[in-house]
Amino acid sequence: MFRGSPRALRALLTAAVVGLLAAVPAAAADSTVNVTGIEVKSGNLVGLIASTNGSDIDPSLDVTVAGKTYPVDAITSGTGSPVARTTIIVVDTSGSMGTSGMATVRSAVAAFLKSVPDDVRVGVVSFSGKATLDLAPTADQGKVQAAVNDLTADGETALYDGVNLAVRTLGSRGERSILLLSDGGDTASSATQATTVAALKSAKVRAEAVSFKSTDSNVSVLQSFTKAGGGSVVSAANAGSVQNAFTSAAKTLASQLSFSMPLPAGVGGAQNIKIAGKSGGKAFATTALVDFGAGVAASPTKAAADTSPITGPTEDVIKGGAPAATLPVLGVSPILGLGMGAVFVALMAMVIALSSGSFKSGRTKRVENIDRYVAATAAIGKGKSRPNAVSENLVFLGERMMEGRDSTSKTMAHISRADLPLRAGEWWVLRIVAIVVSVATFMVLFHSGVIAMLVAALIGLLVGVFAPAFILKFLSNRRGKKFEAQLPDVLTLVASSLSTGFSLPQALDAVAKDAADPAAKEFSRALAETRIGSDVSDALERMAARMDSENMRWTSMAIRIQREVGGNLAETLRTTAKTLREREELRRHVRALSAEGRLSAYILVALPIGIFLYTMKTNHDYIQLLWTTTLGIIMIVGGIISLGIGMFWMRKVVDVKV
């Protein structure tokens, strides 16, 4: 127990209070200093610091890392800030704003853009019945003003959804802030005030709010946002005060100081750093958690801060080191660039190998033809590498791969019908080349991330596998239809030749000389078969099978019957040609009558696909519910199944056999 006079007791208590105050850290002014955007970039620790009450900050700072203090000089953060700075203007466009309110917003944004630093990227989010990203963050101030000028007031108020959309748009890198103009009321959001406050705290986004009065005013909501985001609420009673509030927000960005220091040697992983200095003559100290990654092995030499502006808040930066290396032109990683180069070299080598024979001169080809039949010359050339050995090896491998497959016969039938000079092995090599080129092309076009590249590779693989077969079938069907269209005229020409006294081979020879392709080439081939001993009827039947022509099968059957039992072949062919013309006329008539149904089918199939792609571009947050929720996945699967059934049903309805 203390024994003494009351005066001595008061003196002792006073000394104790003074001692306690002296023991308080020099962080009493922490609430007036805001440190944002601290990150590791290009071997340096960079960040931004500003005073929230307008006080000047002494540029001399002390940064303590792993128990060691480093003096750092802060500089004015002009257009060369090493930290990406992004702000999004969040505007209430509900019906309560009215025409005059929107005019005030436009003039306030114009004043904001005049004062904001050039390196700050500005975006626009509006909310009425729903939140909308009207403009992604950009350095083009003209686009920002144009986006705000296009806003109109109408509908309900989705304040919480608008703030959440702005937070998601800002990303997770650099110095990020929102400038909110609202009365604090909310009538249509799917989010809540609590989730919105949590989103601001989690993302560490600074929130500045301009409060205007209305029947739904709720300043406490705006205060909760600014408290979570380390900003302030400014009341705006008229248009002038709104403009002043926006200008003040721009000046806050302009007053930020940036600091940069080389990474300390041997420091890695997540570290709590301390930043101390003076603001308005008063000492302050604040802490922040920074991930130094792997750190640096040796003490680096002090270098100037990287003042190149970052293009946006989502730029990929490797923690604890330099930014991800990219090729200056394509903007892809070195590994992908090397892969692309290897694929390009391989494709060029394959093309050169496959086409090496086409570069031979006429003299070389004649000499090689002679060498094939001269044993002595072949013996002399024995052991020498042939110029097209690579292509022959690839084709031989393709022949081995295609041999024994059930699909090979169908493939070769399509190749023959399309009149393509390809063997089975050459077709296999062509498909491999198509797969490689397709995968490489899609990976180059969609190289935004690992998942995107994997999806692009899968899509490229599917395109490379199915596109050549689809194109081959298209070419063969097109040539087959052209042959079918020529057949009535060809039969009429044969009948006329027979009537003048020509024999059937002579009549076929007239077709080969006078008709157009593909009929001329196919009849010439059939005639060539007859000249080496094949029967005319058999040659025509093989042509019908080669062209998959039912009409030609009937024609060859009529010729065979006439040759066996006798009769007037010319009259038979004229009758056949007339029948074919009547069938073609009926088929075209039916196709004209079913044109409306086919067009309706095309529109009904393309409409949901087109709306899906359009909504993906205009309202991605809305459409992504189809693959981010269980109900959405069920709906999209059901929609695809229904679309497939509808396509099959409508095709059967309009497909009339003649």
- Residue with the larger pLDDT of the pair 124 and 316: 124
Q: How would residue 72 be classed by pLDDT, with cut points 50, 70 and 90?
A: confident
pLDDT of residue 385: 41
**Residue type for position 544:** A
Q: Is 2 exposed, middle or buried (0-12, 13-18, 19+ CB in 10 A)?
A: exposed
| C-beta separation of 66 from 296 below 8 A | no
Please report whether residue 372 resides in a domain.
no
Query: Is 158's pLDDT higher than 50?
Result: yes
Hunting for tokens 């947050």 — which residue is that? 621
Q: Which range (28-42, 118-132, 176-190, 409-423) has the least confidence?
A: 28-42
pLDDT at residue 477 above 70?
A: yes
pLDDT band at 442 (very low <50, low <70, confident <90, very high): confident
Query: Token digits for 540?
Result: 């025509």
Q: Are residues 222 and 317 part of one domain? A: no
Assess whether 585 and 600 both reside in one domain: no
- Asked if residue 152 and residue 38 are part of one domain, the reply reads no
At 125 the pLDDT is 92
Residues paired with residue 276 on neighbouring β-strands, in sequence order: 62, 285
Which CATH number covers residue 136? Answer: 3.40.50.410
What's the pLDDT score for residue 124? 93
Task: Verify that 30 and 147 share a domain, yes or no.
Answer: no
Q: Pick the more confident residue, 252 or 599.
A: 599
pTM over cut 0.75? no
User: Model confidence at 16, in pLDDT bands (50, 70, 90)?
Assistant: very low
Tell me the per-residue pLDDT of 44-56, one tens digit each, with 9 for 90 and over: 777 777 766 656 7
- Show contacts of 346-350: CB within 8 Å, 24+ apart: 346/436, 347/433, 347/436, 347/437, 349/390, 350/394, 350/429, 350/433
Which pLDDT score, from 0 to 100, does residue 13 have? 36
For residue 63, which of 300, 304, 302, 274 has the smallest C-alpha distance? Answer: 274
pLDDT band at 379 (very low <50, low <70, confident <90, very high): very low
Residue 14 has pLDDT above 60, yes or no: no
Instruction: Supply the mean pLDDT for the chain.
Output: 74
Tokens of 529: 């078969």
Quote the tokens at residue 198: 């949590």
Co-location of 246 and 260 in the same domain:
no
Site of tokens 């009535």: 488
Q: Is residue 469 part of a domain?
A: yes
- In order of 88, 166, 205, 218, the CA distances from 197 in angstroms are 17, 13, 10, 15
**Nearest of 63, 119, 441 to residue 259 by alpha carbon:** 63
> Is the per-residue pLDDT at 393 higher than 50?
yes
DSSP state of 419: T
Domain boundary among 223, 252, 281: 252
Residue 279, strand partner residues: 57, 282
* CB contact set of 269 (below 8 Å; sequence gap of 6+): 291, 292, 293, 295
Residue 300 · residue 321 · CB < 8 Å: no
Do 139 and 275 belong to one domain?
no
The CATH code of the domain that includes 31 is: 2.60.40.10
Query: Contact at 8 Å (CB) between 285 and 25?
Result: yes
In a domain, 42, yes or no: yes
Residues 583 and 441 in one domain: yes
Residue 335 in domain: no
Confidence of residue 4 (pLDDT cuts 50, 70, 90): very low
Q: Give percent above pLDDT 90 in the chain.
A: 2
- Rounded to whole angstroms, the Cα distance separating 641 from 648 reads 11
Over 70: is that where the pLDDT of 302 sits?
A: no
Picking from 43, 26, 133, the residue whose alpha carbon sits closest to that of residue 90 is: 133
Between residues 354 and 416, the one the model is more confident about: 416
Contact 288, 273 (CB under 8 A): yes
pLDDT at 142: 87
Rounded Cα gap, residues 535 and 545, in angstroms? 15
* Interval 177-220: pLDDT, tens: 888 888 788 888 888 888 888 888 888 788 888 887 655 567 78
Q: Which whole number is the average pLDDT over 62-80? A: 71
- Looking at the structure, tell me whether residues 67 and 117 fall in a common domain: no
Q: How confident is the model at residue 80 (pLDDT cuts 50, 70, 90)?
A: low
Residue 109 in this model has a pLDDT that exceeds 50: yes
For residue 307, give every residue at least 6 positions away whose Cβ sits within 8 Å of its Cβ, in sequence order, or none. 80, 81, 82
Report pLDDT for 262.
Answer: 80
- Kindly state the tokens that stand for 74: 């802060």
**3-state secondary structure string across 365-415:** HHHHHHHHCCHHHHHHCCCCCCCCHHHHHHHHHHHHHHCCCHHHHHHHHHH
Q: Which pLDDT band holds residue 354 (cuts at 50, 70, 90)? A: low
- pLDDT at residue number 331: 46
Residue 19 predicted with pLDDT over 50? no
586, pLDDT greater than 80: yes
Indicate the pLDDT class of residue 123, thresholds 50, 70 and 90. very high
Q: Which of 300, 324, 348 is the last residue of a domain?
A: 324
pLDDT, average across residues 608-628: 85
Higher pLDDT, 487 or 455: 487
pLDDT at 23: 35
Last residue of a domain, which of 293, 324, 355? 324
Domain that holds residue 41: 24-81+256-324
Nearest CA among 536, 532, 580 for reference residue 559: 536
How many domains is the chain partitioned into structurally? Answer: 4
d(CA 268, CA 477): 66
Greater confidence (181 vs 654) lies with 181
User: Is residue 424 included in any domain, yes or no?
Assistant: yes
518 prior amide bond cis, ω within 30: yes
Over 80: is that where the pLDDT of 320 sits?
Answer: no
CA angle 423, 429, 434 (to 5 degrees): 125
pLDDT over 70 (residue 371): no
Q: What single-letter DSSP state applies at residue 84?
A: -
Classify residue 145: in a domain, yes or no: yes
Could you tell me if 437 and 315 lie in one domain? Answer: no
* Whether residue 480 is found in the same domain as residue 610: no
Considering the domain boundaries, does residue 350 fall inside one? no
- HSE-CB at 191 with a 13 A cutoff on CA atoms is 20
Q: Is 137 domain-assigned?
A: yes
- Asked if the model's pLDDT at residue 29 lies above 70, the reply is no
Task: Say if residue 622 is in the same domain as residue 488.
Answer: no
Q: Could you tell me if 244 and 165 lie in one domain?
A: yes
Per-residue pLDDT tens for 395-426? 777 777 777 777 788 888 888 888 888 888 88
Per-residue pLDDT band for 37 (boundaries 50, 70, 90) equals: low
Instruction: Look at residue 581 in the predicted model and tell me its pLDDT.
Output: 87
